[in-house]
Amino acid sequence: MLQMRRPLYGNYTALRKQSRNLMKHSMTVQKFIIGCGALLILSTLIIAYQLNSCGPCPDCPAKSVPQGAARPPIYISRAPPVKVPLKDSNERIIRDGVEKELDEANWGPHKMALIVPFRNRFDELLEFVPHMHNFLNAQRVRHQIFVINQVDTYRFNRASLINIGFLESSYDCDYICMHDVDLLPVNPDLNYSYPQSGPFHMAAPELHPRYHYKTFVGGILLLNKEHFRLVNGMSNKYWGWGLEDDEFYVRLKQAHLQVSRPVGIKTNHLDTFKHIHDRVKRPRDGRRYGNQKKASRKRDYITGLNTVQYKLVSSQLMHIDHCPATVINVELECDLNETPWCKEPESPSRRQHPSGQIVAPLGNHR
């Protein structure tokens, strides 16, 4: 029996050992599976969060609240994204970015095309794009910035560039804001949402740092696309600085479009906008050639949105401090019979000889 029991006992011990090993092993496997599961869930959560977190990044469009409507409440339903190290002035933007993404569905149906007539103002643009993008996000104004860059050799034509901005802006934009690149809103009460009651002149005469006459509509003007189309946009006859905005005022008036302006603004012409304009560094091209002076004082019934001639050279999306802007490079075309003043008259120093050679100015005997 003993002899019989010994091996039996021996087998039993071995069996117990084996089963203990098996259990240990299966527990390790179990632990491993649980670990893998947890890792899988964690990584899914991280990926989902990262995909979702595109919303708060400054690249995503914001949406607008109709003028006068109550601001939608802010619901923060999850942890904010990792804070991107940005300057103090941008700190708020990150928080606004979170609000923006969460509120997007409640930000109303409108989208603004922010049209910037542009040439050779790079320093101003570096400040303008982040400032405006953040300013508009803080107001939950859905927008896209279009920088219409004039790359031909004609004189600058602000109005034609705005017409082009209108034509080239995205179809989902239902209103435009023509905006000088050097004029930055600093009072957060300036409301860029959809202009419900017709053209809205943001840079009002009592708020603009420099222009204070009653019929002034330059600097910053918002209007819906229908109204801009109704007046056939802006005149294309204004080459060089000035008066194109005054002509546009007459267009609005004749179309019985009442211009409204900000109300209840507590700041004044000194502290509502920042005007980054050094008159020495950025001289205004106020020269008038030939018939230009006379023509500029007349309402233009011929040219506008439907006659602007240009070549689209290229279009690129750029980011300044993570803030997006679409740059559209355009070459304007000029009818030299209609508006010969689109060109600088040839300076005597570069007068061309019929042979094609550049001849020296008279008196240069070198």
Interacting residues toward ligand UDP by CB under 6 A: 116-121, 156, 158, 180-182, 241, 277, 282, 284
Other beta carbons within 10 Å of 328: 23
Q: CA 98, CA 58: separation in Å to the nearest integer?
A: 9
Angle, alpha carbons 223-228-234 (nearest 5°): 115
For residue 144, the minimal CB distance to Mn ion (Å) is 23
Among 96, 99, 101, 182, binds Mn ion (CB under 5 A): 182
Cβ atoms 249, 202 nearer than 8 A: no
Report how many residues bind Mn ion under the rule CB under 5 A: 2
Which 3 state secondary structure label does DSSP give 54? coil
For residue 163, the minimal CB distance to ligand UDP (Å) is 14
Among 119, 277, 287, 343, binds Mn ion (CB under 5 A): 277
**Which two tokens mark 107?**
């930000």
**Interacting partner of 119 out of Mn ion, ligand UDP, none (Cβ under 5 to 8 A depending on kind):** ligand UDP
Nearest to 253 by CA among 282, 280, 277, 227: 227
DSSP assigned state of 66: -
Torsion of CA 97, 101, 107, 111, to 10 degrees: 80
Q: CA 10, CA 46: separation in Å to the nearest integer?
A: 53
**Interacting partner of 145 out of ligand UDP, Mn ion, none (Cβ under 5 to 8 A depending on kind):** none
**Interacting partner of 289 out of ligand UDP, Mn ion, none (Cβ under 5 to 8 A depending on kind):** none
- Residue 68 has, within 13 A of its CA and on its CB side, a CA count of 5
Q: CA 285, CA 242: separation in Å to the nearest integer?
A: 8
**Interacting partner of 181 out of ligand UDP, Mn ion, none (Cβ under 5 to 8 A depending on kind):** ligand UDP
For residue 246, the minimal CB distance to ligand UDP (Å) is 12
**Interacting partner of 262 out of ligand UDP, Mn ion, none (Cβ under 5 to 8 A depending on kind):** none
Which 3 state secondary structure label does DSSP give 234? coil
Other beta carbons within 10 Å of 60: 16
**Interacting partner of 158 out of Mn ion, ligand UDP, none (Cβ under 5 to 8 A depending on kind):** ligand UDP
Those residues whose C-beta lies under 8 Å from the C-beta of residue 4, and which sit 6 or more positions away, are none
101/180 with CB nearer ligand UDP: 180
Alpha helices in 53-157 (DSSP H): 88-103, 122-138
Does 287 engage in binding with Mn ion (CB under 5 A)? no
269/277 with CB nearer Mn ion: 277
**Interacting partner of 199 out of Mn ion, ligand UDP, none (Cβ under 5 to 8 A depending on kind):** none
Q: CA 3, CA 5: separation in Å to the nearest integer?
A: 6
For residue 285, the minimal CB distance to ligand UDP (Å) is 7
Does 269 engage in binding with Mn ion (CB under 5 A)? no
Choose one: 53-61, 144-152, 275-283, 322-330; the region binding Mn ion (CB under 5 A). 275-283
282/319 with CB nearer ligand UDP: 282
182/300 with CB nearer Mn ion: 182
DSSP assigned state of 27: H
For residue 90, the minimal CB distance to ligand UDP (Å) is 23
Choose one: 33-41, 52-60, 274-282, 317-325; the region binding Mn ion (CB under 5 A). 274-282
Q: CA 74, CA 104: separation in Å to the nearest integer?
A: 10
For residue 239, the minimal CB distance to ligand UDP (Å) is 11
Residue nearest to ligand UDP (CB): 180
For residue 60, the minimal CB distance to Mn ion (Å) is 30
**Interacting partner of 156 out of ligand UDP, Mn ion, none (Cβ under 5 to 8 A depending on kind):** ligand UDP
For residue 43, the minimal CB distance to ligand UDP (Å) is 48
Q: CA 269, CA 252: separation in Å to the nearest integer?
A: 24
Which 3 state secondary structure label does DSSP give 138? helix
Cβ atoms 86, 93 nearer than 8 A: yes
For residue 198, the minimal CB distance to Mn ion (Å) is 26
The residues of the shown chain that bind Mn ion, judged by CB under 5 A, are 182, 277
